[in-house]
Structure 1
Amino acid sequence: MKTSLKGTKLQRFKGSKVNQKSILFTLFSLLFTLYSIAQEKDSTKVNSLDEVLVSAVRVTTKTPVTFSNLDKKDIKYRNLGQDIPILMNYMPSVVTTSDAGNGMGYTGIRVRGSDATRVNVTINGIPYNDAESQGTFWVNMPDFASSVESLQLQRGVGTSTNGSGAFGASLNMLTDNYASKANGEISSSYGSFNSQKNTVKFSTGLLNDHFELAGRLSRIKSDGYVDRASSDLKSYFLQGTYVGKTTLIKALVFGGTEKTYQSWNGIDAEKLNENRTYNSSGEYTDEAGITRYYDNETDNYQQDHYQLHWSESFSDKWSSNLAVHYTKGKGYYENYKEDADMADYGLLPVDAINTTDLVRQKWLDNDFYGTTFSVKYKDEKLDVIFGGGWNKYEGDHYGKVIWARYASQSELGDHYYDDFSTKTDGNIFAKANYQFTEKLSFYGDLQYRNVKYKANSAETGLVDDNFNFFNPKAGLNYEINQKNTLYFSYARANREPNRTDYEGGNVKPEKLNDFELGWRFNSEKFQLNSNFYYMAYKDQLILTGTLDDVGAPIRSNTDKSYRLGFEVDATIKLSDKFLIRPNFTLSSNKNVDLAVEGQNYGTTKIAYSPEVIAGNIIVYSPLQSLHISLLQKYVGEQYMNNIELPAAKLADYFVNDLNISYEIKPKSIFKSILITGLVNNVLDKKYVSNGYMYDVYPYYYPQAGINFLAGLTLKF
């Protein structure tokens, strides 16, 4: 797991260092052992992977939870190298951003105004959020969309899941299902800013009707819209699947390496008007007074994931799922520091000289491992899941000076700081759907979660915290008729602070009461989902809009705050050729009696929480093989701090993308030839999707104007 290499991106723990090759060997040895044991069983299909691997964290329309699904076919025409948050951009209440400006490299997502640290992310039910920062770094998994079968975004608290508590949304992803027949795929794309993606996939199909081996290799490169905001991303995905009559076993190994030139400084208002692509990262003045840019001002990280899932169906009513996992992460970011104070790096003055130019690396090296489990009982009226998980995160953070103009007494390899942290997270839960009558059903969900966190650093001091959280949830689902359903739910969530929060001292855990009231309509040509939500927070850790000295967002507790909103999304089939998918969110997001440094500001708007978010997708298919889509996104104005400072306001924006795809199905050699084109920001809108405040001065992350990507996919 990666604690951001941008800012707190270097929070690494001391702990057991597990050999990756031995983990890989152990997982696949166990898989083959289980396969051998199960050879005597029949070879008919088990339940779909959706039910087997993610039934403990996913919901259906029978559950009173607000959610949206996105599957492989929904994103395949736009899967040309941009990150998963960008592919999710048109889902309800979602706002996305990109540091490099073109959707590659570091990207971010907010849901209902809540940032990525508050969106719980799981992969096959395994937690993905970094344990310390609670953030999600998609740059560590480039082209992961090519290995995702489907994803579900639950807005609000959602259901009980593994990992840190959801304070805005839960996102669970299911990796590729197994294929019954052998197949292969080669895809390449190229576009603006020298952006390119190359992917190779394969599957053996089910061998002997039981066993499948599948994999993927990918590479993504881009110069980025922002100056020098380049990215060089490589990833792999390998899975072995055993399918029996009552058994599903799945072993996965996936990961990636990333090297991105830093582009997280943003630009001030003057540069925004004069030179939108300016990047101050790496800039320094040499001894001759010439402005230069350090060529290795980069973020470098490798992350490898190992998962083993065993699902068993004991009868028509009973089934279970057991998973073990391990994640290894290691990397650093490198900076050129001009006129650095030598004492800050453990260097003694040289004669009368006490500052020096130097190049530093901040390292993160961590291990994350644990288990998740669930048991499910289902009959005609009752659907119950008992489950939980135990996970541990451990590692180190340290810094090195690899060059200095005045090196003083230092030796190569010296550390100028060493921090450590450990975090243990365990939870148990029970969920139940009970059908009272043919039309009325009840949902209940109880979770107990324990978190132990220890840290030692110059910023946080000594931290030794232990949290015990009880998170109840309940709701009713009422089917008026075959087309109309009403639901109401209440959910309680508690959440621990992250590493950076401790820097401010006296930090408190957060509490949330989430109320959801919804109506679903479903007919052959028209589907509508609408809901009201009220999220009442106690001690919410809100973004202040400022960053600390290493670029991490600073948050602080506010006593009372709330998010009140109305969401609508629909699918309208106008004809066999026309389809429209609109959605919008209207909301009010407020701090109540906000106090900052002893001054009371009254009721103010929560930072980074636009009151209007809207999306729309218009699909025209004149031929079965030709699809033309216009994708539209509107994000209302928002503030970058909580005191509604005029300079902190981000303007609203409306962006249009055009997506065209044409598929040919030859009778020989290839099963399919897919040609795709994507024109982003087709109207060349000059807009900013994110920013921060430096005291009273705003800094912005400008997004690219009109740009394109084109791709070719060959399936055989």
Structure 2
Amino acid sequence: MKKLLISTVFTFFSFVVFAQEYTVSGIVTDSDGQPLPGANVILKGDGGTITDFNGKYSVSLNTGNQLIHFSHVGFEPDNRSIFVNGDLELNVTLIKKAETLDEVLVQAVRVSADSPITHSNLDKEELEKRNLGQDIPYMLSYMPSVVTTSDAGAGVGYTYIRVRGSDASRVNVTLNGIPYNDSESQGTFWVNLPDFTSSVQSLQLQRGVGTSTNGSGAFGASLNLLSDAVSNEANGEISNSFGSYNTRKHNVKFSTGLLSEHFELAGRLSTIQSDGYIDRASSNLKSYFLQGAFVNRNTLIKALVFGGTEETYQSWNGLEDPEKLENDRTYNTAGMYTDKDGNIQFYDKEVDNYAQDHYQLLWNQRFNNNWSTNVSFNYTKGKGYFEQYKEDEDFETYGFEPIEIGGDTINTTDLIRRRWLDNHFYAANANVNYKNNKVDFTGGAFYSYYTGDHFGEVIWAQYASDSKIRARYYDSNGTKTEFTVFSKATYSVNSQWSIFGDLQGRFLNYKTTGITSDLVEMIYDEDYSFFNPKAGLTYKLNPANQFYFSYGKAHREPSRNDYEQGITTPEKLDDFELGWRFASEKTKVNTNVFYMNYKDQLVLSGELNDVGAALRTSSGESYRLGLEIDAEIQLLKNLKTLPNIALSTNKNVDFVSSRDGELVNLGNTNISFSPAVVAGTMLEYSPVNKLYLGFLSKFVGEQYMGNIDSEASKLDSYFVNDLNIVYTLDSLPWVKEVVFSALVNNIFNVKYISNGYFYTWDDDFSNPGTVTTIEGAGYYPQATINFLLGATIKF
């Protein structure tokens, strides 16, 4: 018995000794000795942590041999095998991936983790989970203050994004630092770059004014995307997905890896097709991406060619009929006409058809640990049309002369028309960066030239009169030049305080000639000079808490549609941001308060023109005041949640509108398409290795489609949920891995509407001598429950 007791006690103490936990801690830095906040510290098996704002980490490990994996976006991973028999200090230096462009190419338009700019990041790994054919706006759906919508209802075809209530034409978008917004409309049309998500290495969304960028001013946010990095090793993949509404995506990707340790050739071919949730709202999309690269220790040169073609059946009319909205919500009026027997028919080629090709040359040069430069050149070619069947059109509109048939004068006709856009965009960009332990300075210049021809043709007419083949019934040209210079710097005063400053000058000229599709002469030659200063402070209270404040000023020129309405006054914005960031081993929280004060803000009126483009009106004085919170909370070792919420009030000040034939001051009204509450969450669970389950939720509060607070213009709030499943098979013969993905959208089958339009008109016919304002609205119903299933084979 005594021996048994002694043996038991010895075994117990042995277990305690050998199961003793010790602390391994240290700092993760880059090769310049700068701390890396947000680096992943992953333990073999389960658990881990991330570094705080000073690059510090601390983990608990049992005695014995242990493996720790250190990684950070844009850096080579570092696996450390250590023997633990006591508390240990382990400092790690991560080496920048020589092939990535983050440091030089996008440094001019991106900000770092501790910058006083409100921002969020997504990398390739996160994008791949839901990349089954939907456009980039849907990849951003669950980011703070983001609202997405789709004409066809299911995220394929024409899709749109709003950030803090600002539509896509006010979100500055750059691809590798080159502006993607159309120079005239200022919109971003992702349908022209199908499946571009598959060629994105990482992206950053800055909310508010953000830092200086190239192209049109950021009045709600700026989104910059970095295309695929150079791969060291040869690889390939084949991806296929299928889903509701006959949606399917197929792509192939390849990379030769580094040949002779310096050269790489990589590419992608993609096709996406969908019938759409809305009737006949089909999409037939094709795209390509090809890059050749040269890389050595200090030089990276890339030549990129990418683009796409799209043919989408029009669905921009929305649905105005309340009965159909209730009982036939997929009804599409586009292409509708009446045949000779009085039956309703639909023209089968009521389509938008456009091709866009991008050519980029990027040269990054690092001279030493302090100095680096980037030079890039771009040419974008776009050409296409949309086709429409029109009934009983006046001859006069198309330059036709009246004709006599059987003694009757004919001056109207059914016809098919095409409205064309043929444009060219040239850009050059040059930046220089200097960095040491105290200062991070970037300066640069940007120049672009755009020219676009707008014209219309009649390709068939029931009565063609004396028309000639390929004659243009309207013809207009727009040219735009832009020159931008900027300098920005971050200065570290000490270990706690840093100062950020940013100065930008934008100089523009926009010139138009000819007549518009409304047969109105459009002659403008406008110059704009904008000075946009920005400044901020960051204060690190301790390793877990960081505070920042920033101020930014921005100006924005009107778009072509604004000019067509006679609006030439630029917009002005003063943006104030106050934020707090918290980071611990299991929790990260970002909180910020913003106040955006506008002068002559061009807000959406709620109305559409005859081609479905949103019209805007000047609101005079207006503002947005809000609170944004987003977090990442590790609930269990294999369960985490990423919630976010944005609460805001968005007001026009003393808004004046025409009502019943008189101008009326409505006082402070809500800015259109600006919900007071936008919230989302992602609940991520990995019950076993290689299996990912994501439950995603989005709530968007009620919003007005106009600026007069009319109940007829109100969109109801909605709450939708998606389920995302990813399972990976590896250690397979002949292939590296096979990734199976599933996405069930709107899993609870909610009938919701995320977008629409609102209009008014004055009616003086019902009561002669009086004017009554009549209101109307249209809506874009979104898909009920639908799914996408995919498989990717990686070699």
| TM-score normalized with structure 1 length | 0.93
Partner of 1:325: 378
Greater RCO structure (CA 8 Å; 6+ sep)? 1
Confirm or deny that 1:713 pairs with 2:787: no
Q: Deviations over 1:588-644 (max 9, x none)?
A: 000000112432111000000000000000011011210111000000000000001
3-state DSSP of counterpart to 1:694? strand
Alignment of 1:606-621 (within 5 A): 606-621=671-686
3-state DSSP of counterpart to 1:51? coil
* Alignment counterpart, residue 278 of structure 1, candidates 312, 331, 349: 331
Partner of 1:423: 480
Comparing 359-368 with 45-54, greater Cα deviation is found at: 45-54
Q: How far apart are 1:45 and its partner, in Å?
A: 5.8
Q: Deviations over 1:395-452 (max 9, x none)?
A: 2111000000000001111111110010001100000000111100000000000010
Q: Distance in 1 between matches of 2:732 and 2:725?
A: 23
Q: Distance in 1 between matches of 2:463 and 2:151?
A: 34
RMSD of the alignment, in Å? 1.1
* Alignment counterpart, residue 695 of structure 2, candidates 616, 619, 630: 630
Partner of 1:338: 391
Q: How far apart are 1:177 and its partner, in Å?
A: 0.6
Q: Distance in 1 between matches of 2:564 and 2:365?
A: 46
Partner of 2:121: 69
1:400/1:413 contact within 8 Å kept = yes
Partner of 2:783: 704
2:100/2:230 contact within 8 Å kept = no
Q: Distance in 2 between matches of 1:199 and 1:103?
A: 18
Q: Deviations over 1:225-277 (max 9, x none)?
A: 00000000000000111111110111100000000000000001232112100
Q: Distance in 1 between matches of 2:297 and 2:420?
A: 47
Percent same amino acid among aligned pairs?
A: 59
Q: Distance in 1 between matches of 2:521 and 2:375?
A: 36
3-state DSSP of counterpart to 1:623? coil
Q: Distance in 2 between matches of 1:85 and 1:191?
A: 19
Q: Deviations over 1:203-238 (max 9, x none)?
A: 000011111110000000000000000000000000
2:99/2:295 contact within 8 Å kept = no
Q: Distance in 1 between matches of 2:669 and 2:128?
A: 41
Q: Distance in 2 between matches of 1:58 and 1:624?
A: 34
Alignment of 1:13-32 (within 5 A): none
Q: Distance in 1 between matches of 2:378 and 2:489?
A: 26
Q: Distance in 2 between matches of 1:566 and 1:224?
A: 36
Amino acid at match of 1:102: A
Q: How far apart are 1:460 and its partner, in Å?
A: 6.4
Q: Distance in 1 between matches of 2:746 and 2:243?
A: 14
1:303/1:327 contact within 8 Å kept = yes
Confirm or deny that 1:381 pairs with 2:438: yes
User: 4+ residue runs of structure 1 moved beyond 4 angstroms?
Assistant: none
3-state DSSP of counterpart to 2:731? coil
* Alignment counterpart, residue 343 of structure 2, candidates 290, 303, 327: 290
* Alignment counterpart, residue 667 of structure 2, candidates 597, 602, 622: 602
3-state DSSP of counterpart to 2:396? helix
Task: Please identify the structure whose Cα radius of gyration is greater.
Answer: 2
3-state DSSP of counterpart to 2:102? helix
Partner of 1:466: 527
Q: Deviations over 1:566-586 (max 9, x none)?
A: 000000011121010000000
Confirm or deny that 1:447 pairs with 2:526: no
1:460/1:499 contact within 8 Å kept = no
Alignment of 1:150-299 (within 5 A): 150-268=202-320, 269-299=322-352
1:460/1:500 contact within 8 Å kept = no
Partner of 1:525: 586
CA gap of 1:335–1:47, structure 2 versus 1, over 3 A, is closer
3-state DSSP of counterpart to 2:744? strand
2:548/2:579 contact within 8 Å kept = yes
2:670/2:704 contact within 8 Å kept = yes
Amino acid at match of 1:176: D
Partner of 1:137: 189
1:366/1:394 contact within 8 Å kept = yes
Q: Distance in 2 between matches of 1:664 and 1:370?
A: 44
Number of aligned residue pairs: 674
Q: Distance in 1 between matches of 2:613 and 2:472?
A: 22
Q: How far apart are 1:506 and its partner, in Å?
A: 4.3
Partner of 2:721: 656
Partner of 2:169: 117
Amino acid at match of 1:613: V
1:507/1:557 contact within 8 Å kept = no
Comparing 496-505 with 251-260, greater Cα deviation is found at: 496-505
1:439/1:479 contact within 8 Å kept = yes
Partner of 1:494: 555
Q: Distance in 2 between matches of 1:667 and 1:284?
A: 57
Q: How far apart are 1:517 and its partner, in Å?
A: 0.2
Q: Deviations over 1:326-375 (max 9, x none)?
A: 00000000000000111101111112111100000000000000201100
Q: Distance in 1 between matches of 2:210 and 2:129?
A: 29
Confirm or deny that 1:362 pairs with 2:362: no
Alignment of 1:682-697 (within 5 A): 682-695=747-760, 696-697=775-776
Q: Deviations over 1:261-308 (max 9, x none)?
A: 000000012321121000000000012212110000000000000000
Q: How far apart are 1:524 and its partner, in Å?
A: 1.8
Amino acid at match of 1:111: V
Q: Distance in 2 between matches of 1:107 and 1:47?
A: 32
Alignment of 1:542-581 (within 5 A): 542-581=603-642
2:458/2:470 contact within 8 Å kept = yes
Comparing 253-262 with 282-291, greater Cα deviation is found at: 282-291
2:104/2:433 contact within 8 Å kept = no
1:120/1:166 contact within 8 Å kept = yes
Q: Distance in 2 between matches of 1:394 and 1:195?
A: 35
3-state DSSP of counterpart to 1:85? helix
3-state DSSP of counterpart to 2:427? strand
Q: Distance in 1 between matches of 2:439 and 2:506?
A: 25
2:451/2:479 contact within 8 Å kept = yes
1:460/1:502 contact within 8 Å kept = no
Amino acid at match of 1:612: V
Q: How far apart are 1:47 and its partner, in Å?
A: 6.8
Q: Distance in 2 between matches of 1:492 and 1:653?
A: 34
Partner of 2:156: 104
Q: Distance in 2 between matches of 1:509 and 1:271?
A: 40
Gap regions ≥5 residues in structure 2: 1-95, 761-774
Q: Deviations over 1:648-680 (max 9, x none)?
A: 000000000001111000342110101111110
CA gap of 1:180–1:501, structure 2 versus 1, over 3 A, is same
Partner of 1:18: none
3-state DSSP of counterpart to 1:343? helix
Amino acid at match of 2:493: F
Amino acid at match of 1:274: N
Q: Distance in 2 between matches of 1:310 and 1:404?
A: 52
Q: How far apart are 1:694 and its partner, in Å?
A: 3.4
2:372/2:433 contact within 8 Å kept = yes
3-state DSSP of counterpart to 1:181? coil
3-state DSSP of counterpart to 1:622? coil
1:393/1:424 contact within 8 Å kept = yes
Amino acid at match of 1:297: E
3-state DSSP of counterpart to 2:564? helix
Gap regions ≥5 residues in structure 1: 1-43
Partner of 1:27: none
2:129/2:724 contact within 8 Å kept = yes
Q: Distance in 1 between matches of 2:502 and 2:99?
A: 24
Q: How far apart are 1:551 and its partner, in Å?
A: 2.2
Q: Distance in 2 between matches of 1:376 and 1:520?
A: 27
Q: How far apart are 1:545 and its partner, in Å?
A: 0.3
Comparing 55-64 with 581-590, greater Cα deviation is found at: 55-64
